[in-house]
Chains A and B, each alone.
Chain A
Amino acid sequence: MKDLKALVSSIAIACALASSASSIAAAAQCTDTIRVIAQPRDGLTLLENYKDEFAKLSGGADFQIDYLNENDRRAKTKADASTIGKYNVYYIDEANVALFAKSGWVAPLTDYYPADYDYADFDPGRQKVATYDGKVWFAPLTGGGDLMVYRKDLLEAAGIKPPTTLDEYIAAVRALHQPDKGIYGTALRGQRGSGANVWRWMPYFKGFGGNWFEGDKPVFDGDAAVKATETYLEIFKYSAPGSQTGGWDEAVGAFTSGQVALLIESTPLVGMALDPKSSQVADKIGYLPPPTPLTGGGYGHGLAIGTKANKTEEAKQCAGLFIAWATSKENEQRRLEEGQFSELNRTSVMTSPKFAELYGPDLGKALADTGKVTAVNFWQNASWPDLGDRWGIILEELITGTRTDIKEGLDELNGFATDLVARSQ
C-alpha cells in the first residue's frame, strides 16, 4: 500500500513537473552548471538526487552546491558577492537580505521567478522577511519563529505545569536543573553572532519593550536592554555545558540527547526533536509558544540570484528557474515525505492532509499560536550584521565572564552604532 502511494505521488510530481517544464523551457535554455553556495539543509541534499529532472527541465543545466555552516556561509557569501562573484545562487537570510539587496549583489527574485511556481504560496511571514525595500529577494528554504519545547516526563515527575510566562519558565528551569543527574535546565546560545547569541537574546530585549533605532538614532541603550541581558545571564546559569560558546547545534544537540529540560529555539527544533533518528527523547516532548512576554524570532533563509555571476538576462533566468524548481511545491512535497519538517515553507504543503497525518493537530496549533507572537526582532537595515555581530562579541564576553559591566558594554555598542550610521551615510 505504501509503495502504491509512493508510486502515485511520484507520478503526480512527474506530471506536475512535466506540465510546468513545457512552459518554462520556452523561457530559458540553460546548459551551464549553476553554482550555489548554501548552508547544509536536508532539502538541498535531497535535490541532488533529482539532478536529471532539473537537467531535463532546464534544457541541460547542472547544478553544484557548496555547503558551509551558518557563520562561514555568511562570511563567504559576503566576500564572494562583493569581489569576484563566482556563485550564481546565494543562500541568504533575514539578517543580510538588506545588505545584499542594497549593495546590488542579488537581483529582484520575482522578475525571474516563473509565475507557474506560485511564489504567493509561501508562508506570508517568510515572504515578509524575504522582502526589502518593497521587492522580494529570496525564495524561502526554511523559516518561522520560536517554539518552547519541553520534556513532558521531567515536568510531570517534578509536578510542574508547562510554563506560559517568563517567570514560570525561569522557575521551571531552576527547579529542573540537576547537573549531578546529567539534566540541565535549558540551553541558550552563547556563541557570538547576530544569528547566534544575539538571536536568542533579542526576544528578551523586544519582549521587555526594547527598540533598536528611531530613525538614524540608536535608542537601544536603555533599561530594556539591561534587563534583557541580566535575565539572559541569569538563565545562562542553568544552561548546558558547551552552550557558553555554542550556537544552535550545541543547544539542540544537548536537548535531543536528553540532557535539557526546556528549550526555546527556532521552530525547526521540533522536527529534529520529534524525529527518532536524531532525537533520544522523540516520544517525551511537548511544545508551546514562547512564554510571555518573549517574542518569537521571525526568520527566513532562502535562495537568491547573484548579479555578478549572472551577467546576462538569460543567466538570471536560469538561476531563477533553478531557485523556482528547488523551492517548488513538488520538491517541498518530497521533503514532507522525507520527514524534513524544517524545510517546509509553502502554505499548501503545511495545510495538506499529509502534514496533519505526519505531525498531528497539536503541532499545527502550536505553530499557529507561535505565529501570533512572532516578530521581526532585529534592525531591518543593511548595517544590521555589523551591529548584531558587534553586540554578539560583547554578549559573549558577558556570558563567559571576561566582562561584567552590562551598561558599559551597551555604551560601547552605542558608540559603535553611532559611528556605523555615520559611516553608512
Chain B
Amino acid sequence: MKNKTTLPWVFLTPAMVVLAVLALVPTVCAIVISFEDRELSRPDGNFVGFDNYLALFSDRRFVNAITVSLSWEVITVGFTMLIAVGLGILLFECVSPRTRNILAVLFIVPVILPRVSAAFVWKFAFHPLYGIATYPYKAITGQPLDLLSNPLTALGTVALVDVWQWGLFFSVIVLKLLETLPPQPFEAARLDHARAWEVYAYVALPMLKAPLISLAFVKMIESLRAFDLIYVMTRGGPGISTETLDMYAFSQGFIESGRISYASGMAVLMMIATSIAFTVIWKRAKI
C-alpha cells in the first residue's frame, strides 16, 4: 500500500524539480525585479514598491497594448476556429478520401514553417510595390495597397498570417476528428430529413465539443506568443496600433529604455491576468 502512494512521487519529483528551476526561478525573479527600479544600464536597483504597477496604468501605451492584445486573441482564435471547422467540414463533405490526404499534407505545411520565416515571406508578399498579394489590387486600380502601414488594416493583415498558419492545420485536425465519428447518428439525422448544415450543427459539432474546446484553448495559448510574427511584420507599428503586451514589454526592457523592472511589472500582470482568465474560461467551458 505504501509503495502505491510513494511511486507517483518518485516519478513526479525529477519533473517538478526541472519545472521549478526552469519556471519558478525566473517567475520569482520577475516578481522581485518588478518591485525595483532596475535598468539595464545600471547594475543596482532600489525597492520602489508598487510604483511600476501604478505607473503602468497611466501609461497610454500599456492601456493600448491591453486593447491590442485582446483584439489579437479574439481575431486570431475566432477566425482560426471558424476556418478550421468550415474547411474541415468542407473537406469531409466534398472531397474524396485520397484527395483529402493530399490536401491534409499541404495544409500542414504552413504551420511547419518557422514563424519568423513565414512572417518575412508574407511581409514581402504584402509590400505595396513588389508584393504578390497586393499586385492584383495595384493592377486593377493602379494604386499601391499598403496594408501594413495602415493602422486600420495592419493588425488584421498580421492576423491573416497567423490564421493561415493555424487555421489550415486545425482544419486537418477537425477533418480527422470527423472521420472518427460513428456514421449512425449522421444516417439517423438524414433519415429525419435533416439538411447538411443541420447534420453538422446539431449532430457532428456537439459530438466534437470537447476536442474543439481543447483546440480553442491551444490556440488561445499560442496566440499569446505571437511576438515573433508581429515583431517581424510591423514591430508594433504603424505607431502603436499592433503593439501587444509582450511586444511592449520587450520594447521597454530591451529595445528602447532598458527598463527591465517596468517590463517585469507588465510580465507579472500578464501572468496574473492570463492565469485568471484561463481558469475562469476552462471552468465555464464544462467539457
Binding site for B on A (CB under 8 A): 71, 74-75, 78-79, 82-83, 99, 102-103, 179-180, 190-192, 240-242, 244-245, 254, 257, 259, 382, 385-386, 389-390, 393, 396-397, 399-403, 423
| CA gap between A386 and B39 in the complex, in Å | 12
| CA gap between A385 and B255 in the complex, in Å | 9
Task: Judge whether A245 and B240 touch: CB under 8 Å.
Answer: no
Given A245-B149, A402-B151: A397 in contact with B127 (beta carbons within 8 A)? no
Given A75-B254, A402-B241: A241 in contact with B234 (beta carbons within 8 A)? no
| CA gap between A78 and B150 in the complex, in Å | 31
**Which of A74, A244, A382 has a CB less than 8 Å from the CB of B238?**
A244
For A247, the closest partner residue in chain B by CB is B235
For B55, the closest partner residue in chain A by CB is A419
**Which of A83, A390, A403 has a CB less than 8 Å from the CB of B239?**
A403
Task: Judge whether A400 and B149 touch: CB under 8 Å.
Answer: yes
Task: Judge whether A244 and B149 touch: CB under 8 Å.
Answer: yes
Size class of B's contact patch? 20 to 34
For B234, the closest partner residue in chain A by CB is A245
Minimum distance in angstroms from A185 CB to a CB of chain B: 14
Task: Judge whether A245 and B148 touch: CB under 8 Å.
Answer: yes
Minimum distance in angstroms from A374 CB to a CB of chain B: 27
| CA gap between A385 and B146 in the complex, in Å | 29
Task: Judge whether A400 and B238 touch: CB under 8 Å.
Answer: yes
Given A401-B151, A402-B151: A386 in contact with B257 (beta carbons within 8 A)? yes
Q: Could you mark each residue 119-130 of chain B with 1 if its beta carbon is under 8 Å from any beta carbon of chain A, else 0?
A: 000000001111
**Which of A78, A389, A400 has a CB less than 8 Å from the CB of B237?**
A400
**Which of B143, B148, B237, B254 has a CB less than 8 Å from the CB of A396?**
B237
Closest 6 CB pairs of A and B: A397-B239, A400-B238, A241-B128, A241-B144, A82-B40, A402-B239
In the bound complex, residues from chain A placing their C-beta under 8 Å from that of B142 are 180
In the bound complex, residues from chain B placing their C-beta under 8 Å from that of A75 are 254-255
In the bound complex, residues from chain A placing their C-beta under 8 Å from that of B255 are 71, 74-75, 389
**Which of A78, A180, A396, A401 has a CB less than 8 Å from the CB of B258?**
A78
A-B contact pairs, 13 of them (CB 8 A): A192-B236, A241-B149, A245-B149, A245-B234, A245-B238, A257-B130, A382-B41, A385-B256, A390-B256, A399-B238, A400-B150, A402-B241, A403-B239
In the bound complex, residues from chain A placing their C-beta under 8 Å from that of B234 are 245
For A180, the closest partner residue in chain B by CB is B142
| CA gap between A209 and B159 in the complex, in Å | 43
Task: Judge whether B237 and A245 touch: CB under 8 Å.
Answer: yes
For B151, the closest partner residue in chain A by CB is A402
In the bound complex, residues from chain B placing their C-beta under 8 Å from that of A390 are 256
Minimum distance in angstroms from A400 CB to a CB of chain B: 3
Taking A99-B41, A190-B149 as known contacts, 7 extra A-B pairs with beta carbons closer than 8 A to each other, sorted by chain A number, are: A71-B235, A79-B40, A180-B142, A389-B257, A393-B239, A400-B238, A423-B37
Task: Judge whether A241 and B40 touch: CB under 8 Å.
Answer: no
| CA gap between A399 and B240 in the complex, in Å | 12
In the bound complex, residues from chain A placing their C-beta under 8 Å from that of B240 are 393, 397, 402
| CA gap between A241 and B237 in the complex, in Å | 15
| CA gap between A180 and B141 in the complex, in Å | 10
| CA gap between A241 and B149 in the complex, in Å | 9
In the bound complex, residues from chain B placing their C-beta under 8 Å from that of A401 are 151
Minimum distance in angstroms from B64 CB to a CB of chain A: 10
Task: Judge whether B238 and A78 touch: CB under 8 Å.
Answer: no
Given A78-B40, A99-B41, A240-B129: A400 in contact with B151 (beta carbons within 8 A)? yes
Task: Judge whether B256 and A386 touch: CB under 8 Å.
Answer: yes
| CA gap between A318 and B122 in the complex, in Å | 43
